[in-house]
């Protein structure tokens, strides 16, 4: 394998380690008298109905695993997922809808989820399957807000460079389901939530906007976020009025600690970014690299992070710090892009393109950044992979990296120089993984 192929093989191992099917099978078993989830038995004599709900890019594989374990004990279910992410299931219906901007299919699917939640009683066990993308894929706007207005809010905040946590705080306060709303609707049924984490720090109140846990954010926090990104005045009037009415105490807050409907909820984490990063480290080590996990909480502007990785590569070449060649530096997390242009791309592609310019001319140097879900922004690529020769290729084609970065058009540049990572939907989602290779152990 050449160095780019090596980086791709390490990335594939990172994705494989976050398989949601395996994650569910590790925590769910069934015997003749009960379904057991994370060590907690739910006797069939008590729970006459088992229904399944959920949302996320990885939720279909979670649903498939649950069906393979529990079989006919499951009465029915409904999962919302992103277009192109469906798989065949039996009793649990898989419904495709829009992501990252919610659409009418998402609203329709979420109505079915809400109907199932409302049908439950104290003799019902609800199993919720949540993963990355669950917030956008389960839109349930409050009565005063339309889907179009909620879509506008999502676009405005994403384009302003807000973090996923900040965006989800606002979403919670515009939703029936988020911010503990699922738990409220499910009560008095027993609710067990299985989660594949796609957020830094695995915060349960952030994953899928925390539909089954207490919410720390407030209406006041939402207004602060919008003011921070100078977009409060650009929000639809109904949204701005709701946030201000909530801050004034005229609208009930999201779920808070001590609310009785939270007492019937249990949550189990089945996978996260750390597991993927550790798998990448093991894979790189087996190939002969000296390995270093720099962080699993990478945040910040994607293009700046690309320049940072190039600086790390230069330091390794020149001084052997922070690790000697052949070196593999691995990180995980989720960066952001402040959209200024009208191009096509995603945070991983933008990071790779920024790195490409700074590592130009470096020998035996490869940088890959990819989304574990197989998609990066509104594109068919998981991310980008670059080496010290890619800029020269682009120069020969008359392409100027800075122009493409200015337009947020990383996809088109990388497509022309062979720098896109394409995996197709992977069935999982535990944020992004970055792999920097400096030196080639195969060269001895």
Q: What is the DSSP string of 148-211?
A: HHHHHHHHHHHHHT--HHHHHHHHHTTBSSTTTHHHHHHTTSEEEEEEE--SGGG-TTTGGG-T
Q: How far apart are CA 67 and CA 35, in angstroms?
A: 12
Please give the pLDDT value at position 135. Answer: 87
Please give the pLDDT value at position 185. Answer: 97
Q: CA-based Rg of the chain, rounded to a whole angstrom?
A: 22
Please give the pLDDT value at position 209. Answer: 85
| Helix (H) or strand (E) run with residue 414 in it | helix 410-417
CATH domain 274-443 topology: glycerate kinase, domain 1 (3.40.1480)
CA distances for 53 relative to 50, 74, 118, angstroms: 10, 11, 12
What parts of the chain have a pLDDT lower than 50?
A: none
The answer to whether 106 and 32 are in contact (CB under 8 A) is no
Q: What is the DSSP string of 321-369?
A: -SSPSSEEEEEEE--B----S-----HHHHHHHHHHHHTTT-TTEEEEE
Q: How far apart are CA 132 and CA 57, in angstroms?
A: 6
Same fold flag, 19-140+175-217+254-271 and 274-443: no
Q: How far apart are CA 439 and CA 443, in angstroms?
A: 8
Please give the pLDDT value at position 444. Answer: 58
Please give the pLDDT value at position 194. Answer: 98
Cis peptide, bond prior to residue 180, ω within 30 of zero = no
Phi, psi of 77, deg, nearest 5: -175, 165
Please give the pLDDT value at position 420. Answer: 98
DSSP assigned state of 214: -
Q: Where are the domains of the chain?
A: 19-140+175-217+254-271, 274-443
CATH number of 19-140+175-217+254-271: 3.40.50.10180
Q: How far apart are CA 10 and CA 192, in angstroms?
A: 34
pLDDT, one tens digit per residue, over 277-333 is 999 999 999 999 999 999 999 999 999 999 999 999 999 999 999 999 999 999 999
Please give the pLDDT value at position 100. Answer: 80
Report the C-alpha dihedral over residues 426, 430, 432, 434, rounded to 10 degrees.
-90
């Amino acid at each position: 394998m050449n160095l780019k192929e090596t980086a791709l093989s390490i990335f594939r191992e990172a994705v494989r380690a976050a398989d949601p099917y395996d994650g569910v099978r590790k925590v769910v078993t069934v015997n003749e008298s009960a379904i057991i989830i994370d060590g907690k038995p739910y006797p069939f004599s008590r729970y006459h109905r088992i229904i399944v709900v959920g949302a996320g890019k990885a939720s279909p594989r979670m649903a498939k695993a649950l069906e393979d374990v529990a079989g006919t004990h499951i009465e029915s279910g409904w999962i919302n997922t992103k277009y192109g992410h469906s798989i065949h299931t039996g009793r649990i219906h898989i419904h495709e809808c829009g992501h990252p901007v919610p659409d009418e299919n998402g609203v329709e699917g979420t109505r079915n989820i809400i109907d199932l939640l409302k049908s439950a009683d104290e003799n019902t066990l609800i199993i919720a399957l949540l993963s990355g993308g669950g917030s956008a894929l389960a839109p349930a706007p409050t009565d005063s807000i339309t889907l179009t207005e909620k879509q506008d809010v999502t676009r405005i905040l994403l384009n302003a460079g807000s973090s996923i946590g900040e965006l989800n705080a606002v979403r919670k306060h515009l939703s029936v389901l988020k911010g503990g709303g699922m738990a409220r609707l499910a009560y008095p049924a027993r609710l067990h939530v299985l989660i594949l984490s796609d957020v830094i720090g695995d915060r349960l109140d952030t994953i899928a906007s925390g539909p089954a846990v207490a919410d720390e954010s407030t209406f006041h926090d939402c207004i602060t976020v919008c003011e921070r990104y100078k977009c409060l005045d650009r929000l639809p009037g109904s949204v701005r009025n709701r946030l201000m009415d909530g801050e004034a105490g005229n609208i009930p807050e999201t779920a808070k600690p001590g609310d009785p409907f939270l007492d019937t909820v249990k949550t189990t984490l089945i996978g996260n970014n750390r597991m993927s990063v550790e798998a990448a480290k093991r894979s790189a080590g087996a190939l002969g690299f000296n390995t270093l996990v720099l962080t699993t909480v990478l945040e910040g502007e994607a293009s700046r992070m690309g320049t940072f990785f190039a600086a790390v590569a230069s330091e390794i070449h020149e001084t052997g710090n922070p690790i000697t060649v052949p070196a593999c530096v691995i990180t995980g997390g989720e960066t952001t892009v402040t959209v200024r242009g009208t191009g096509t791309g995603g945070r991983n592609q933008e990071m790779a393109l920024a790195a490409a310019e700074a590592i130009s001319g470096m020998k035996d140097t490869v940088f890959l950044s990819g989304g574990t879900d197989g998609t990066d922004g509104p594109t068919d690529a998981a991310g980008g992979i670059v080496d010290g020769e890619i800029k020269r290729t682009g120069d020969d084609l008359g392409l100027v990296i800075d122009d493409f970065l200015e337009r947020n058009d990383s996809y088109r540049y990388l497509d022309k120089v062979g720098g896109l990572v394409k995996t197709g939907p992977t069935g999982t989602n535990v944020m992004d993984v970055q792999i920097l290779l400096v030196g080639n152990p195969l060269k001895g």
